[in-house]
Structure 1
């Protein structure tokens, strides 16, 4: 008699506490999280990086560090709330037979019993906050340098375009303003520079077209 094949369970639900391991796209580090935490973390990082408007690998690296420290601070707040909530489910040492008063007493007990842990968490939060603020300063400095270099490149390209126009020659930013002329530490887009140059030329032409005529004054008799 042949044994009957054992059918595998295809409808087995995944334990929500199970972990996922994945390699972070920016840092290259392996992170282990639950699927829900991974989704929340990814959404958090994307939002922070988008709001910081980072460009280039160096800015993205500092932006990711800022996002990670913000995530740590939010996690500290969640752990603190969870620990106080755990105190609500522990046997009452002090009670007044009133829900709100008993809740306040339970939180006070947790605070007294977990003073050392809360102190460690406070140190952890302060370090994360200081690191975040320091990285924000560095990131803003990097972005200011990048924007200043970009504006200088646009100004130079605009002058070259105006000079070419005065000679009746076409202007091509790709040939007249090659990538070698750009700062090597910044990744500028030539089409973006060309768009700004075209805008500057149109703006200058509009100002000349609508310039107010000079007022003439009669000489006093």
Structure 2
């Protein structure tokens, strides 16, 4: 008699996933739940930091990773104190809240060395995150200043062409090679700002439009 095939065992919910990070190219091993939380965390940080270009995005990723480490460190600390409250009591007062406080104090005393190491780890991570964030902010300040300068120059050229009654073509009158190569500005983006500046200048010159009165009903 042929033995019946064994039914597949349910997958361990703690099983790990290995995936390659889309930005860093590194292989990360996490549980599916942690992978989802980490991905959501990184996407939110990138959106908040408004990073552009490879260097800014890499710095934003280091900030996201360090913040993730700090959050994980705090979670580990909470878990360790929770473990202490589930261990056999050395001191007890037969009162739930007092016994909980005593258990946390015992855990702190027993884990003082590990908690101190964790504090050092957190401090180093915090300093590195702040340093990389400062570098990122400086790069963004330089990028924004260079972009505004490019917009001002292109706007001036457009106004000069309009004053002479000539058409203005940003691709020919403001060639890409004059743009800072490290920032990767696009001419269509500059052109949109130039159009906005010209319309805004014309509106300011014309002055406010007087409001139209309401017609009375017959």
Query: Scaled by the length of structure 1, what TM-score is found?
Result: 0.90
- Picking from 206, 209, 217, the partner of 1:209 is 206
Q: Which residue matches 2:109?
A: 112
**Does the alignment pair 1:85 with 2:82?**
yes
Local SS of the residue matching 2:166 = coil
- Equivalent positions of 1:52-131 (< 5 A) are 52-131=49-128
Q: 1:132 aligns with which of 129, 133, 140?
A: 129
> What are the within-5 Å matches in structure 2 for residues 1-221 of structure 1?
3=2, 6=5, 9=8, 12-210=9-207
**Residues in 1 aligned to 2:192 and 2:22: alpha-carbon distance in whole angstroms:** 31
| 1:1-39 per-position Cα deviation (integer Å, ceiling 9, x unaligned) | 7x4673764xx5321110001111111111100000000
- Looking at structure 1, the residues matched to 11 and 37 of structure 2 have their Cα atoms a distance apart, in angstroms, of 18
Q: 1-side partners of 2:91 and 2:139: how far apart? A: 55
Q: Structure 1 CA distance, aligned partners of 2:6 and 2:76? A: 42
Kindly report structure 1 stretches of 4+ aligned residues shifted beyond 6 Å. Answer: none
| Count of residues in correspondence between the two structures | 208
| TM-score of the superposed pair, with normalisation by structure 2 | 0.92
Q: Deviations over 1:106-141 (max 9, x none)?
A: 000000000000000000000000001101110110
Q: Which runs of 5+ in 2 are unaligned?
A: 209-218
Give distance in 2, aligned partners of 1:178 and 1:143.
23
Aligned CA distance change for structure 1 residues 142 and 99 (closer, same or farther; 3 Å)? same
Residues 119-178 of structure 1: per-residue CA shift (max 9 Å, x gap): 000000000000011011101100000000000000010011111112222212122212
CA 1:92–1:5 in structure 2 vs 1: closer, same or farther (change >3 Å)?
closer
